[in-house]
Structure 1
Amino acid sequence: MKIAGVITETDSQKSALDWLKSYAAGHYPDATAATAALYFASLDKEDSDISPYLARLDDICADLERTIADAAGPGGGLPRVMDLAIALQQVIPGYHGYQGDAENYDDTDNANLMCVIDRKRGLPVALALLYLHAAAHCGLDMIGIDFPGHFLLRLEAHGERVLIDPFHNGLVLGAAELRELLKAFQGLDAELQPEHYREATDQTILLRLQNNIKVRALRSGDLAYATTILERCLIIAPDEPGLWHQSGTLHARLSNDEKALAAFEKFLALNHDPRHQQRIRSLAAELRDRIAGIKPNQTAARKTPAPPRDDDTVVRLHPKKTPSASETSARFPNDTLPLPPDDLPPA
């Protein structure tokens, strides 16, 4: 909740944050990523009770269970993989009406699972959570695939496997469709490689979902909200140096010097790449001076760091000023980011 530009926490939000901290500590091993995503979503909703949304997930699970049973026939065995893919199509985009939001792709609601369930529209990674939750309930072998620019799902049964696009009504994708999707994101010279089929953990999925929200906040110039999203990500991924780097950068731009310094120090403890060590140590030293009230001309004896490379994130520490919307467009170094790019808008 925002009051006069300050983000405050309600009791329900504190409860959700506590649940997420416990989840990150492994206290809810049976919780799906969809459940965790609902707790994340509740942090941005005034009516933050996730119980009705869990009930709607239960409805999807029950319908999928019945549809699979019908497909199995009298023998009762698990259907073939294509039959299972069709069952998912019939239930999630079919009976329940969930689809990708091609018309309002950049709407932040498309990455908030509570909003996705209300609107029945969302991003690929958000819709994938519904499939994964229902598949886990029904004992199906399904995982997320961290495909570049467009989150996919892999379903296996009886030694067969298919890739499913949750954004386009659960469509089964062949090699030709996957190649086209890759080229749309990485260029016409791109070719499918084994790394494009990297399996996504629950943590990866949740970070990718939150990253979509963060990117949209940066595009709109809302640095405070983007920083809040990063802090939420750090709850479930406290050992990701790229998150600490981004957090330090944004806190510095917001003149939250103590928080920026703490974030950069955490980054230095986790990332031992000498290229980043030298640059971030210089920034940390400037922050310490600013916190201590030392003006730049009083530190002339300190060696001036080399100008940053083109791929560096520039954090201008002197003088203090309120960041403009244009400053949010600076790119973070790719080699410090643990998150994939946000999902590719549909063609």
Structure 2
Amino acid sequence: MTDTERHETVLQWLKSYAAGEYPDATAAEAALYLASLDRPEGDITAYFARLDDICEDLQRAVADTHTPADAPPRVMDLAIALQNVIPGYHGFQGDEENYDDPENANLMCVMDRKRGLPVALALLYLHAAARCGLEMTGIDFPGHFLLRLEANGERVLLDPFHNGIVLGAAELRELLKAFQGLDAELQPEHYREATDRTILLRLQNNIKVRALRSGDLAYATAVLERCLIIAPDEPGLWHQAGTLHARLNNDEKALACFEQFLKLNHDPRHQQRIKTLAAELRDRIAGISPDTSETADDKPDDTVIPFHPAKNTGASGAENTPRGTSSAASPPHDDPSPA
């Protein structure tokens, strides 16, 4: 199979996955397919086998938990089992030294390097937990993806970036303030559950933001197009893709993206502005010179988040905390917004 054929096969799998044709596939498996688009030389089946190894080791660790006869494991026992297997035996940790390295969001690279972003590492925990029958959910916490583990009416929050440590209210408050400022306080929306699609978009957004910061508009556009395979109903993604295509002088693709945005977003605040942009693109495609007699509308476009969001510079020298404790340093932050 040629690289082109392999690329098309991966794209078709992702389209089928987005259409719900692989209901048993985990977000980690989908993330490996996304990662393989940048690593066509890699054997993706080898990474699936490594996921299986993690699951088998976790299954044994759960079976070895010390509980009273016939009693199910406590939530802290399960948390310790996860810590012993994923960051412990397999050595997966957050990459604090090279946090902004794009490889930290490519799951194939993460599995090779044993280092990654919180959301990338979380995929390993979620996959293993799902395959071992544990109740675990991704938490779309601002700036730092977390995990919620539940068992027998108890629940704890884990930090996949810091060896799966358990976080208490004080540590969560510290995380939030490091990202949103000293006046920020914990709110129910900060514990929003993340769907598989949300997780994958958050992962890809980290790659896109880093590409934009380095000035690689073509790669950022390619990442957005991958996001649109997963989430074709997200108008913000179509707007961003249209804007980047326009900046790359891909006028026909830009126009198609803006037209799709108009179909999905009916907010009158944005409709007229995007219709104007679409009309300008049609003229440009047709070779019609713009009419300069009218004053251009220089009002900032707030349809989506800025392409180059301010880089958070929270403390990046956090020390590793012993597993099973609830002490968390203020880590660097990932870029959570998918659109």
**Candidates 36, 39, 46, aligned match of 1:42:** 36
Matched residue SS, 2:162: coil
One-letter amino acid of the structure 1 residue matched with residue 195 of structure 2: T
Find out whether 1:200 has 2:194 as its counterpart. yes
- Percent identity of the aligned residues? 77
Find out whether 1:160 has 2:154 as its counterpart. yes
RMSD (CA atoms)? 2.2
Matched residue SS, 2:65: helix
- Per-residue Cα deviation, 1:51-93 (whole angstroms, up to 9, x for no partner): 1111111111001000100105573543000110000000000
Find out whether 1:190 has 2:181 as its counterpart. no
Match of 2:118 in 1: 124
Contact 2:3 2:40 in 1 (8 A): no
Per-residue deviation at 1:294?
0.2
Find out whether 1:147 has 2:141 as its counterpart. yes
CA distance in 1, matches of 2:70, 2:101: 43
Matched residue SS, 2:148: strand
Contact 2:209 2:308 in 1 (8 A): no
CA distance in 1, matches of 2:215, 2:70: 55
- Per-residue Cα deviation, 1:200-225 (whole angstroms, up to 9, x for no partner): 00000000000000000000000000
One-letter amino acid of the structure 1 residue matched with residue 145 of structure 2: F
One-letter amino acid of the structure 2 residue matched with residue 342 of structure 1: D
Match of 1:80 in 2: 74
Q: Runs of 4+ in structure 1 displaced over 6 angstroms?
A: none
**Candidates 83, 94, 99, aligned match of 2:93:** 99
CA distance in 2, matches of 1:214, 1:137: 30
**Candidates 5, 8, 15, aligned match of 1:14:** 8
One-letter amino acid of the structure 1 residue matched with residue 267 of structure 2: D
Gaps of 5+ in 1: 1-7, 315-326, 332-339
CA distance in 2, matches of 1:76, 1:25: 41
CA distance in 2, matches of 1:14, 1:268: 28
Match of 1:4 in 2: none
Contact 1:69 1:76 in 2 (8 A): no
One-letter amino acid of the structure 2 residue matched with residue 127 of structure 1: L
User: Against the structure 1 CA distance between its residues 238 and 225, is the aligned structure 2 distance closer, same or farther, given a 3 Å change threshold?
Assistant: same
Residues 1-347 of structure 1 mapped to structure 2, 5 A cutoff: 10-73=4-67, 75-297=69-291, 300=293, 306-309=297-300, 311=302, 329=308, 342=335
Alignment: residue pair count: 314
One-letter amino acid of the structure 2 residue matched with residue 248 of structure 1: G
Per-residue deviation at 1:328?
6.2
CA distance in 2, matches of 1:32, 1:82: 24
User: Against the structure 1 CA distance between its residues 58 and 74, is the aligned structure 2 distance closer, same or farther, given a 3 Å change threshold?
Assistant: farther
Gaps of 5+ in 2: 311-332
CA distance in 2, matches of 1:30, 1:243: 26
One-letter amino acid of the structure 1 residue matched with residue 209 of structure 2: V
